[in-house]
Amino acid sequence: VLGNDVTVNIAGASGNFELNVFKPVIIYNFLQSARLLADGVSSFDKHCARGIEPNHKRINELVSRSLMLVTALNTHIGYDKAAAIAKRAHKEGLTLRESAIASGYVSAEQFDAWVKPEEMIG
């Protein structure tokens, strides 16, 4: 696919005006790349993706340990305090919730009301 991309780029640059004698090369290589990518996706689906089940427990654990959730606190306590909470959580291996509550800037109820990962996507 990368080789075809180079070929298409060179063929496109080598043509003059709207009369590009390399159009057949461009079309052939483009279609070949599309076929290769489609076959790759089919193979990935058949041999890798089918039957995969999400590990909800692990997903929830990783989301709760994500320091990116701190952005939800910025509007409520300010950037500096939120950054301090995230740095402490990272340094001490705490969850963001544990660090926020321990800092005294946020109560457990406030954290739960403000930090909702499901509302932070999309």
Q: Give per-10-residue mean pLDDT for the chain (122 aa).
A: 96 86 95 98 95 94 91 95 96 94 95 92 74
The whole-model pTM stands at: 0.61
Residue 16 in 3-state DSSP?
strand
What local confidence, expressed as pLDDT, does residue 36 receive?
Answer: 98
Phi, psi of 106 (to 5 degrees): -140, 135
Q: CB of 95 within 8 A of CB of 89?
A: yes
What local confidence, expressed as pLDDT, does residue 15 receive?
Answer: 84
Place of tokens 């180079």: 6
Please give the DSSP secondary-structure letter assigned to residue 106: S
Q: CB of 90 within 8 A of CB of 120?
A: no
Nearest-angstrom CA–CA distance, 117 and 54: 17
For residue 112, give every residue at least 6 positions away whose Cβ sits within 8 Å of its Cβ, in sequence order, or none.
none
Q: For the domain bounded by 56-119, which CATH number is listed?
A: 1.10.40.30
Q: CB of 69 within 8 A of CB of 96?
A: yes
What local confidence, expressed as pLDDT, does residue 18 receive?
Answer: 79
What local confidence, expressed as pLDDT, does residue 122 receive?
Answer: 67
